[in-house]
Amino acid sequence: MNLTLRIWRQSGPRDRGRMVTYRVEDVSPDMSFLEMLDVLNERLILGGEEPIAFDHDCREGICGMCGLMINGDAHGPQRGTTACQLHMRQFSDGDTIDIEPWRARAFPVIKDLVVDRSAFDRIIAAGGYVTAPTGSAPEAHATPVPKADADAAFESAACIGCGACVAACPNGSGMLFTAAKVTQLSLLPQGQPERYTRVLGMVDAHDEAGFGGCTNAGECTVVCPKGIPLNTIGRLNRDYLRATTKRGDTSGT
């Protein structure tokens, strides 16, 4: 395939940035999207030009590093798929493809398609630790966990922290990510001792990082490559309401 790429180029956080047009030829439909960018970068380097910076690591859809807006869709047109697992067979010969970084106040652009997602790290750190007894491992059936709770906790734990939910949200909210990290612990017995201090700390860190508020638009769940459902945010809201009541804080929402 022969394609026209319009890619966001920005030399640094203070640069205004711009869309730059490139032509790529003889693209195999079996290439991944990132492999196609690799081919373009090889050409740019051989021509003495600056290669396009973009995040990547495992390229297996599990690390959460890759993050691109492709024709306005987080991770591209294929649902339940990260950009690294998106293949060029999803496009047609002659297509024009717009490639941009995540757009959110809490994710400032570092260079080109790379954004600073350390706000997610601060949210996780604000959750603190899980109280765990020391000593040998407990007997496997000593603490029964209902199957429905275990399944829901595992569903939330599948979050890879890619940030697609933030990029797709019209408010730039990171509430689906925050809810997933809260819920994966709040549904299990091991997460109960810090359950309410955890949700307060993580929601406060979310707001301090500059993420927008959730208005249940639902775009986050549409683009989530792991299919985390919208009711995960409902679980967080219930825990947050209980937590603010327990500490006598009526200012929370």
Rg, Å, the chain Cα set? 21
CA 65 to chain CA mean position, Å: 8
Q: Which residues have C-beta within 8 Å of that of residue 98, sequence separation ≥ 6?
A: 6, 19, 69, 70, 71, 72
Q: Residue 253's pLDDT is what?
A: 46
Query: Whole-angstrom Cα distance, residue 187 to residue 222?
Result: 23
The pLDDT of residue 246: 82
In the chain, the domains with their CATH numbers are 3-100 (3.10.20.30), 117-250 (1.10.1060.10)
Region of residue 128 (left: phi > 0; alpha: psi -120 to 50; beta: else): left
What pLDDT is attached to residue 249?
55
Tokens read off for 178: 């925050």
So what's the pLDDT on residue 252? 46
pTM reported for the whole predicted model: 0.92
CA 153 from chain centre, in angstroms, equals 18
For the chain (253 residues), the mean pLDDT of every run of 10, in chain order, is 98 95 97 97 97 96 95 96 97 98 96 97 93 76 89 96 97 97 92 94 97 96 97 96 80 47
